A and B are shown apart, each in its own frame.
Chain A
Amino acid sequence: MTALDVATSDRIGVVHGLKRLWAFVRRNPALAVSLAFLLAVFLFALLSPFLPHDAYRQNVLARNAGPSLKNWLGTDELGRDVLARLAVGARVSLTVAVASTVIAVAIGVLVGTIAAYAGGFIDNVIMRFVDSMYAFPDTLFAILFAALVKGQLGGEASGLLAPLAEAYRLSGGLLGVLLTLGLTGWVTTSRLVRAQVLSLKHAEYVLACRLAGASDSFIIRKHLLPNTMPVILIAVTFVVPNAILLEAGLSFLGVGVDPPTPSWGTMIATGAQSLQSYPHLLVAPTLAIGLTLLALNVVGDALRDLLDPAVSASRGAAT
């Protein structure tokens, strides 16, 4: 096969894949609605600087105002526009989701691959540790970790931590949440990847490769990792919603994003304090996060069905 043939067949493959994807979306209206909603949230977050109101601008004369033509979703306890704050909150949520997922999945893939490929004693030690982390509720661990990161970076840091603390301050606490979720969220991924690499490790083509004299790193890079891709994608469908859920949870508890940066979690927390008098302050962020997570789960379910029906069935029962 010439290079040209490969390129054309690749292009045909992509077109074919897109067509299949489109047919799949059309057969599944819930998926279509969810994708549209997520796209809308993404655009909403992207366009937040161009909204008519500023998310940080206080107006003491119009505090806790209900929805009106001027402020579509009303204003909060400091007179800030709720819609604008939701938009910046969406930005926070999406940033955290993407960045912490990258960190968590990278660690998970690394740990899972090393454990499975090395085997023996190393595998035992790593999996013992992973099991302990698994036995422990991840939210609990994330809360403790977030408090630690916040304490270390939030105050006056010196030495090596100083640039990190500066970045932490500039990001309004976002960096702390990213680190927390990235460093605590890799456990599921590592397990999935380890199982996949273990099953691939003794495949005949890997054996053939080794007989031909390929190095470990070549086998891992060229054969094991590409074949682990579907599993990694499946892991992503679990990690992303969990990151959004945990970010809001941490901010809700006061160890996430720092005020005045809006987060859906902090908005829910302040809304909960005055829910009797101003329920709209609670309803808006609650619906935002609820619907986003719902949409993400629908998309994740569909993606898992598409990638591997067996995995999705077994995981679906357990989660």
Chain B
Amino acid sequence: MLSYLFKRILSAIPTLLIAYTLVFFIAHATPGSPWDSGGNRPMEPSVKAVLDAKYNLDKPLHVQYASYLWNALHGDLGPSYRDRSQSVNDIVARFLPVSLKLGAAAMLFAILLGLALGALAALTRHPAVDGLIRMLSTLGISMPTYVVTSILIVSLGVGLGLVPTFGWKGLFTTSSIVPVFSLALAPLAAVTRCFRTSMLEVMNLDFVRTARAKGLKPLSIIIHHMGRNALIPAVTVAGSYMTYVLVGSFFVESIAGIPGFGRYFVLAIAARDYPVIIGTTLIYAVFVVVINLVVDLLYFVLDPRTRLERAS
């Protein structure tokens, strides 16, 4: 297992390097310097030269490429151009926790409810439950997060006045209901559908019949025998939705007015704040790679068979 882990981490390096290279050159090929955002008040050339020198923008591109990478590897993502009193690290520390809480809450909600709904659908096989789930998964797959957020805010916030229409007061307040649900809808639908299918597949296998014949309690069979085996595909699906939640946060946070990382990223693009754009994208890329790794490792925990397969 350790050698597999090592191999996986090694293979993530080229992926991250390609991501960094693409983002670096795209960001720098985007014309306009970060200083000319004022529009009708162009900056004094001498001031601009000093600023360029201070932030190494006067160096050749390959030097900037290498030095930024070097600093990033040492945990320094550089200064923010838009907001010169802060470094990218400060911004990450300030804005990321909100987004992380939001995303984690959405994933947790989606997984727990998805497993429950999927199991319910598989066990009852009631046409009404099936119909509901088909509707949920069609909606979840086709409705973009910004549509769900908008509809929920207009109906629950403006129409019924149940939730605030804007802002963030913490995870355990009504202000988090709409963002969490909007982000959770798609993964919820996918997990439900996937868990239902795999529960139905597992249901008629020999070991489940044996467990039944032994006279085990139905609940214990459902959880320990069926659930554990059916969980594996659901975990993969949930893992693949992590990036979805990440990207969805750009839109949800912008509409619902949540001071998170996603909203900040959107603002940074408009302001051509290179270090922030590159820094955030790098963090996102690392995040995606780590999530994929964690999902892969979860296989080992859940399914002993993969251990043999991978070892051979």
Q: Is the beta-carbon distance between A318 and B240 smaller than 8 angstroms? A: yes
Q: Is the beta-carbon distance between B141 and A248 smaller than 8 angstroms? A: no
Q: Is the beta-carbon distance between B251 and A249 smaller than 8 angstroms? A: yes
Q: Is the beta-carbon distance between B250 and A253 smaller than 8 angstroms? A: yes
Q: Is the beta-carbon distance between A294 and B144 smaller than 8 angstroms? A: no
User: For residue A271, which residues in chain B have a CB less than 8 angstroms away from its CB?
Assistant: 150
Complex Cα–Cα for A138 and B22 (A): 13
Q: Is the beta-carbon distance between B165 and A144 smaller than 8 angstroms? A: no
The digit string for A126-163, where 1 denotes a CB below 8 A from any CB of B, is: 00110110011101110111011001100100000000
User: For residue B153, which residues in chain A have a CB less than 8 angstroms away from its CB?
Assistant: 275
| Number of A-B pairs, beta carbon distance below 8 Å | 135
Q: Is the beta-carbon distance between A147 and B269 smaller than 8 angstroms? A: yes
Q: Is the beta-carbon distance between A275 and B14 smaller than 8 angstroms? A: no
Complex Cα–Cα for A245 and B141 (A): 11
Q: A283 → chain B, closest Cβ, in Å?
A: 6
With A129-B18, A139-B247, A318-B237 in contact, do A293 and B144 touch (Cβ < 8 Å)? yes
Q: Is the beta-carbon distance between A253 and B266 smaller than 8 angstroms? A: yes
Is A241 in the interface zone, CB < 8 Å from B? yes
Q: Is the beta-carbon distance between A137 and B143 smaller than 8 angstroms? A: no
Q: Is the beta-carbon distance between B250 and A283 smaller than 8 angstroms? A: no
Q: A158 → chain B, closest Cβ, in Å?
A: 11
Q: Is the beta-carbon distance between A272 and B150 smaller than 8 angstroms? A: yes
With A132-B18, A294-B143, A318-B237 in contact, do A137 and B30 touch (Cβ < 8 Å)? no
User: Which stretch (B87-95, B107-115, B283-291, B300-308) binds chain A?
Assistant: B283-291
With A137-B288, A317-B194 in contact, do A297 and B138 touch (Cβ < 8 Å)? yes
Q: Is the beta-carbon distance between B32 and A268 smaller than 8 angstroms? A: no
Complex Cα–Cα for A191 and B152 (A): 36
Q: Which residue of chain B has its CB nearest to the CB of A157?
A: B31
Q: Is the beta-carbon distance between B281 and A297 smaller than 8 angstroms? A: no
Give the residue of A128, A135, A252 whose beta carbon is less than 8 angstroms from that of B251: A252
User: For residue A297, which residues in chain B have a CB less than 8 angstroms away from its CB?
Assistant: 138, 141-142
**Taking each of A140, A151, A241, A245, which has the highest tally of chain B beta carbons within 10 Å of its own beta carbon?**
A140
Q: Is the beta-carbon distance between B142 and A286 smaller than 8 angstroms? A: no
User: For residue A140, which residues in chain B have a CB less than 8 angstroms away from its CB?
Assistant: 247, 281, 284
Q: Is the beta-carbon distance between B284 and A245 smaller than 8 angstroms? A: no
User: For residue A248, which residues in chain B have a CB less than 8 angstroms away from its CB?
Assistant: 144, 146
Q: Which residue of chain A has its CB nearest to the CB of B148?
A: A290
Complex Cα–Cα for A289 and B288 (A): 28
Q: Which residue of chain B has its CB nearest to the CB of A150?
A: B30
Q: Is the beta-carbon distance between B197 and A317 smaller than 8 angstroms? A: yes
User: For residue B285, which residues in chain A have a CB less than 8 angstroms away from its CB?
Assistant: 135-136
Q: Is the beta-carbon distance between A319 and B190 smaller than 8 angstroms? A: yes
The digit string for B192-210, where 1 denotes a CB below 8 A from any CB of A, is: 0110010000000000000
User: For residue B270, which residues in chain A have a CB less than 8 angstroms away from its CB?
Assistant: 254
The digit string for A291-319, where 1 denotes a CB below 8 A from any CB of B, is: 00110111000000000000000001111
Q: A97 → chain B, closest Cβ, in Å?
A: 14
Complex Cα–Cα for A131 and B11 (A): 11
Q: Is the beta-carbon distance between B247 and A268 smaller than 8 angstroms? A: no
Is B259 in the interface zone, CB < 8 Å from A? no
The digit string for B222-247, where 1 denotes a CB below 8 A from any CB of A, is: 00000000000100110010011011
Is A13 in the interface zone, CB < 8 Å from B? no
Q: Is the beta-carbon distance between A152 and B138 smaller than 8 angstroms? A: no
With A129-B18, A144-B281, A298-B138 in contact, do A136 and B250 touch (Cβ < 8 Å)? no
Interface members, chain B 124-166 (any A CB < 8 Å): 138-139, 141-144, 146-147, 150-151, 153-154, 157-159, 165-166
Q: Is the beta-carbon distance between B269 and A143 smaller than 8 angstroms? A: yes
The digit string for B264-291, where 1 denotes a CB below 8 A from any CB of A, is: 0010011010000100010011001100
**Taking each of B19, B150, B247, B285, which has the highest tally of chain A beta carbons within 10 Å of its own beta carbon?**
B150
Is A255 in the interface zone, CB < 8 Å from B? yes
Q: Which residue of chain B has its CB nearest to the CB of A129?
A: B18
The digit string for A157-193, where 1 denotes a CB below 8 A from any CB of B, is: 0000000000000000000000000000000000000
User: For residue B190, which residues in chain A have a CB less than 8 angstroms away from its CB?
Assistant: 317, 319
Is A215 in the interface zone, CB < 8 Å from B? no
Give the residue of B19, B158, B166 whose beta carbon is less than 8 angstroms from that of A136: B19
Q: Is the beta-carbon distance between A151 and B288 smaller than 8 angstroms? A: no
With A137-B246, A152-B29, A294-B138 in contact, do A249 and B197 touch (Cβ < 8 Å)? no
Q: Is the beta-carbon distance between B250 and A294 smaller than 8 angstroms? A: no
What are 23 inter-chain pairs, A to B, with CB distance below 8 A? A131-B15, A141-B22, A144-B277, A145-B26, A147-B26, A147-B30, A151-B32, A151-B272, A152-B29, A152-B31, A248-B144, A253-B269, A254-B270, A255-B269, A268-B146, A271-B150, A276-B166, A282-B150, A286-B146, A286-B147, A290-B147, A317-B193, A317-B197
- 15 additional A-B pairs beyond A132-B15, A137-B288, A140-B281, beta carbons within 8 Å, are A129-B18, A136-B19, A137-B244, A143-B250, A144-B23, A254-B270, A272-B146, A279-B158, A282-B150, A286-B150, A286-B151, A289-B144, A293-B142, A293-B143, A297-B141
